[in-house]
């Protein structure tokens, strides 16, 4: 292994290769490294590394297909997070994801189930009408001669009919 140059450091040579030194220092090193074997080798190595690096960058840039960029961006946006401006629920119900409709559906379901629990049955406030008679007669007390209990066919409407005669 060659003995390193005692006049200029690696950093000086590196900056020389990159043309970052003042003109006077640059000219001094240019005159020096022609006669200094370690510096000449160091300059050659730095330039070789630089050329390899630049070639790699060029390959990456050349391999970049600008036509597919917009497609990739659109795909990313489509699969990425959906944000809804003015979403008052924010991340409050993370359980339901970030879709506002899912959140609203979830809240509605919770409300319906909660109300049903309070009312004792799911159908209390959603009376569908046709299941069972409209009224169940549990007790009748009368001295009248006749009483009939009738249920209509169509809507199962309960009728109590009595005669006073």
Name the residues that contact another protein, by CB under 8 A. 88-93, 107, 110-111, 114-115, 118-121, 123-125, 127, 129, 132-144, 147, 150, 152-155, 157-165
CB of 94 to another protein, least distance (A): 10
Of 50 and 132, nearer to another protein (C-beta) is 132
Contact, 29 vs 16, CB < 8 A?
yes
Provide, rounded to whole angstroms, the least separation between the CB of residue 148 and another protein: 8
Q: Angle of helix 23-33 relative to helix 10-17, nearest 10 degrees?
A: 110
| 27-33: Cβ within 8 A, 24+ apart | 32/7, 32/8, 33/8
Residue 33 CB neighbours (<10 A): 22
Give 46 or 100: the residue with its C-beta nearer to another protein. Answer: 100
Specify the residue, 62 or 88, whose C-beta has the smaller distance to another protein: 88
Q: Measured from the CB of residue 9, what is the shortest distance to another protein in angstroms?
A: 54
What whole-number distance in Å separates Cα of residue 65 and Cα of residue 56? 16
Judged by CB, which is closer to another protein: 31, or 97? 97
């Amino acid at each position: 292994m060659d003995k390193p140059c005692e006049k200029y450091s690696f950093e000086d040579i590196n900056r020389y290769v990159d043309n970052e030194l003042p003109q006077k220092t640059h000219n001094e090193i240019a005159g020096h490294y022609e006669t200094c074997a370690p510096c000449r080798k160091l300059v050659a190595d730095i330039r070789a590394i630089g050329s390899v690096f630049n070639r790699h960058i060029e390959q990456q840039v050349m391999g970049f297909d600008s036509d597919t960029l917009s497609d990739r961006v659109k795909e990313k946006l489509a699969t990425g997070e959906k944000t809804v401006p003015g979403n008052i629920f924010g991340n409050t119900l993370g359980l339901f994801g970030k879709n506002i409709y899912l959140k609203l559906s979830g809240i509605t379901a919770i409300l319906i189930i909660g109300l049903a629990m309070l009312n004792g049955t799911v159908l209390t406030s959603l009376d569908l009408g046709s299941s069972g008679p409209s009224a169940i007669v549990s007790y009748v007390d009368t001295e009248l001669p006749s009483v009939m209990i009738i249920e209509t066919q169509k809507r199962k409407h309960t009728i109590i009919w009595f005669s006073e005669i």
